[in-house]
Amino acid sequence: MIRNGKKNYNLIVGSIITGFILLLILVGTFYTPYDPDAMDAASKFAGVSLKHPMGCDNFGRDIFSRVLEGSRTTFIVAAGTVFIGTFFGIIMGALTGYYGGIVDEILMRFNDAMFAFPSILLALLFISLFGSGKYQVILALGIAFIPSFARIVRSEFIKCKNMDYVKNAKLQGASNIRIMFVHILPNTVTVLLSAIMIGFNNAVLAEAGMSFLGIGVQPPDASLGRMLSEAQTYLFSAPTYAIFPGLIIILMVLGFSLLGDGLKSEE
Amino acid sequence: MDEKHLLKVTDLNIEFHDHIVPETVVYDFDLTLDEGDIVGLVGESGSGKSMSALAIAGLLSRKDMKKRGEILFEGVDLLTCERSTLRDIQGNDISVIFQEPMTSLNPVKKIGWQVEESLRIHTDMTKEERYQKVIQMLEDVELDNPEQVYNQYPHELSGGMRQRVMIAAAMICAPKILIADEPTTALDVTIQAQIVKLLKRINKEKKTAIIFISHDLSLVKQICERVLVMQGGYIVESGLTEDIFNNPQKEYTKKLIEAIPKVDRNKKG
Amino acid sequence: MAEKILEVSDLCVSYECARKTPFEKKKSIQVLKEVSFSMEKGEILGLVGESGSGKTTLARAILGMIPYEGTIIKTIENPQMVFQDPYGSLNPSKKVGWILEEPLRLKGGYTDEERHEKVVAMLHMVGLDEKFMDRYPRQLSGGQRQRVCIAGALMLEPKLLIADEPVSALDVTIQAQILELLQRIHKEMDLSIIFISHDLRVVYQMCDTVMIMKDGQIVERGTVEEVYFNHKSEYTGNLLQSAGIDINS
């Protein structure tokens, strides 16, 4: 973490924030103080107290428990999205970058067309076709994310495929698939990693945005965006309902951007 | 006394300060240069030859690098003088040509514009005067069709032509010192020979002092009167080229000379 | 007469130029023009020429890396190549051990221990020791990298090695060491070498025979002594003179 005498603060702070969020999610998976969906009319709009550290919402549900649950949902959606985007992006980028020619031309034009739509619009289209829900959101956002990853991987492959070590591998009789995924792919990791970090952030925001609009995760499931959307009606009666989910989104995005920047400068 | 010499470098030490532990790259570098001299700076990569030359040209950052010693150019210490004085000397009195003619020219600007640049900065000639001067300079470095070259872009020229353009750009303000950092390494042998001839001619006609940096001893032997051999930041040996080649004193110099592959008839059985 | 390992006849290679507009006629540049020569077993052949003379193209055609017209008859299997830039020819994300094992893995039929043993033996052969197996290329000096490249090319015990300017990116003293290594390997492994270079001094020291190329054609071919001291073409003389080689000494 120390290079050229300068501490990599981005990496350090990013790791701490991300670690904290991950810890929160991990704890939330096994233990929540209350059932996140359990309603309790007596504690409707309860303020911050020892019993309810973040207060309660309009149904008397414990906001802290819901934040724990919601962070997990949001995290799973973001991770799933990035996984789909990266996996298919790598395959598409590797094929187009390595082979070039007509395959490249067709796939990349298709890519351009997808790029021209905002990813949230594409996701909207997808949701209206297949219905809404956690898994639909992952699939929709994932597909919308493929082109940006494909593009990054493609340009890295174009850079690497003319290197002498690739020629050498060919001379030694390595197959194209082996050259692509064993010889070239590891060299794209650093670029890919920071792309994944940025993609993750975009996915968090996109999920929050979609749930806020009511086309993402459906009630009674909690997600950070969903909670924000529910909170807007009660902004004055239960401000903590909006503040804490918002805070977690900010921390999640901040942590991952810092981590991404830190990793980039580490190379 | 110092005014006698065009350039006098004494006890130059260069230290990098961008790491936790400061790293010295040049120790106690001494050099005197008079009008019309050609001095060779020889050594392997990491020997500090380029660093010393860049320090003389005033191209090393003043912040990250600590320098001790003196670089007196006509009595002005380049290490301590005002930035504006240094800028006046750079490009006007001391010019540099680099190894890679591909990257030392700006790919989006026309040749004429780039050669003119130091005239634009250092003189107040009119546009017409500048044009005339550039054409004359391009002719001087033995480029055919200078008018055509003036309007071309770097990528339209061959490596040898580009290096000639670089020399023209470096010589346009008639500098007193020309620092040539491996100017022929990237070129073919026949082109290399032409560039060396051109540098020699410029040195003779314009009395420009040349500091010629190279790792190629056979080339240095052809062009330089005096040689400084550097290793690990130190000058290990210096003297007249002839003496050093015929009678090297230090082990390292002997090793360098032996490493030049010999071409002689009786080598093989 | 020794056995011929390579016979090239009427070899032509041309590249297509990029068209500026789609309506322009396809143009192509002929890089090699009816090149014919043969090479004997155990020979070290120097290939000299300026940039654009087609020497690297010839090497690639021999290795089958580019399409060509004419015939190339090879009596040896899988010739290997050592590239000029020791920085670009080693995969930066792999350790030296992995890089050297790769040719064996690709060929198949070796156990993990056999591969390991072979790599260690080869590292010793090129003057490195086994602790280099766990290093990444960026942790090596230029000379060490070039040794690793040579080791990699020799893993499958080829009978022909093409070295494309293997020493021109290196310092003189390192250069001398690498040349020595190539000469030793040539003897010990019964190897034929095509040595591509623009440095006439290096070629003289290294090679038995030499071939001078210009504009895609062979200008002169013969033993080094013949070509250097009794050259028939003016171009060869010009090259020698430019390199500052005095043939009368």
User: What is the tens place of the pLDDT at every residue in A221-241?
Assistant: 778 878 887 777 788 877 888
The two structure tokens encoding residue C183:
């000469």
Within 10 angstroms of residue C209's Cβ, the number of other Cβ atoms is 18
Contacting chains of A (3 CB pairs or more, <8 Å) are B, C
* Measured distance CA(B107)–CA(B155) in Å, rounded: 7
Instruction: State mean pLDDT over B210-222.
Output: 88
- Given pLDDT bands bounded at 50, 70 and 90, which one contains residue C77? confident
A186 at C interface, C-beta within 8 A: yes
* Measured distance CA(A100)–CA(A164) in Å, rounded: 18
User: Among candidates C183, C173, C216, C220, which has minimal Cα distance to C200?
Assistant: C220
Is C248 within 8 Å of C66 (Cβ atoms)? no
CA-nearest residue to A171 within chain C is C80
- Residue A1's pLDDT is 44
Q: Does domain A2-25+62-265 have CATH number 1.10.3720.10?
A: yes
- Residue B261's pLDDT is 81
- Given pLDDT bands bounded at 50, 70 and 90, which one contains residue B18? low
Listed range (A44-48, A204-208, A258-262, C194-198) with the worst mean pLDDT:
A44-48
**pLDDT above 70 (res A82):** yes
Portion of chain A with pLDDT greater than 70, in percent: 94
Report the phi/psi class of residue B233: left, alpha or beta, with left for phi > 0 and alpha for psi in -120 to 50.
left
| pLDDT tens string C156-170 | 889 999 999 888 888
- Residue C203's pLDDT is 92
- Residue C180's pLDDT is 92
* Measured distance CA(B22)–CA(B27) in Å, rounded: 13
In the chain, the amino acid numbered C127 is G
The two structure tokens encoding residue B75:
């009595």
- Residue C22's pLDDT is 66
A4 at B interface, C-beta within 8 A: yes
C83 at A interface, C-beta within 8 A: yes
- Residue C154's pLDDT is 92
* Measured distance CA(C219)–CA(B99) in Å, rounded: 30
* Measured distance CA(A55)–CA(B165) in Å, rounded: 75
- Residue B1's pLDDT is 45
Name which of B47, B99, B189, B257 to mutate to probe chain C: the one with the most chain C Cβ atoms within 10 A of its Cβ: B189
Listed range (A45-54, A255-264, C3-12, C16-25) with the worst mean pLDDT:
C16-25
Closest residue to C90, CB basis, from A165, A172, A174: A165
Model's pTM, two decimal places? 0.80
Q: State which of A209-213, A233-237, B106-110 shows the largest mean pLDDT.
A: B106-110
* Measured distance CA(B7)–CA(B75) in Å, rounded: 8
- Residue C88's pLDDT is 86
**pLDDT above 90 (res B20):** no
In the chain, the amino acid numbered B139 is E
Q: Whole-number mean pLDDT of chain A? A: 83
- Given pLDDT bands bounded at 50, 70 and 90, which one contains residue C113? very high
The two structure tokens encoding residue B159:
């490596």
* Measured distance CA(A186)–CA(A191) in Å, rounded: 10
CA-nearest residue to A4 within chain B is B19
Instruction: State mean pLDDT over C212-229.
Output: 91
In the chain, the amino acid numbered A73 is T
**pLDDT above 50 (res A191):** yes
- Residue B156's pLDDT is 85
- Residue C248's pLDDT is 66
Residues from chain A that touch B63, judged by Cβ atoms under 8 A, are none
**pLDDT above 50 (res A2):** no
| pLDDT tens string B118-149 | 888 888 888 899 999 999 889 888 888 888 98
Spell out which chain B residues touch chain A, with contact meaning CB-CB distance below 8 angstroms.
18-20
| pLDDT tens string A11-39 | 889 899 989 988 988 888 887 777 777 77
Kind plus residue range of the DSSP H or E element containing B21: none
- Residue C111's pLDDT is 92
Name which of C60, C102, C150 to mutate to probe chain A: the one with the most chain A Cβ atoms within 10 A of its Cβ: C102
- Given pLDDT bands bounded at 50, 70 and 90, which one contains residue B2? very low
**pLDDT above 60 (res A4):** no
* Measured distance CA(C17)–CA(C19) in Å, rounded: 6
Report the phi/psi class of residue C184: left, alpha or beta, with left for phi > 0 and alpha for psi in -120 to 50.
alpha
Count of alpha carbons within 13 angstroms of residue B102, beta-carbon side? 4
CA distances C159 to A211, B99, C40, C223, Å, are 67, 38, 11, 21
**In terms of pLDDT, which residue wins out, A99 or A57?**
A99
ipTM over 0.90: no
CA distances C191 to C21, C62, C203, Å, are 48, 16, 17
- Residue C104's pLDDT is 92
CA-nearest residue to C107 within chain A is A173
- Residue C172's pLDDT is 84
Q: Which phi and psi angles does B62 have, rounded to 5°? A: -80, -20
Portion of chain A with pLDDT greater than 90, in percent: 13
Instruction: State mean pLDDT over C118-128.
Output: 93
A3 at B interface, C-beta within 8 A: no
| pLDDT tens string B231-265 | 988 999 999 999 998 899 988 888 888 888 877 76
* Measured distance CA(A62)–CA(A56) in Å, rounded: 5
**pLDDT above 50 (res C89):** yes
Q: Domain limits of chain A?
A: 2-25+62-265
- Residue C196's pLDDT is 93
Instruction: State mean pLDDT over C102-120.
Output: 91
A172 at B interface, C-beta within 8 A: no
| pLDDT tens string A151-178 | 999 999 998 888 888 988 888 888 899 9
Instruction: State mean pLDDT over B4-8.
Output: 85
- Residue B61's pLDDT is 73
Listed range (A123-137, A179-193, B254-268) with the worst mean pLDDT:
B254-268
**In terms of pLDDT, which residue wins out, A254 or A266?**
A254
* Measured distance CA(C227)–CA(C212) in Å, rounded: 9
Residue C83 distance to chain A (closest CA, Å): 7
User: Among candidates B25, B59, B27, which has minimal Cα distance to B45?
Assistant: B25
Q: How far is Cα of residue C31 from the mean position of the Cα atoms in its chain?
A: 18
User: Among candidates A221, A250, A243, A226, which has minimal Cα distance to A54?
Assistant: A243
Count of alpha carbons within 13 angstroms of residue A52, beta-carbon side? 25
Instruction: State mean pLDDT over B185-194.
Output: 82
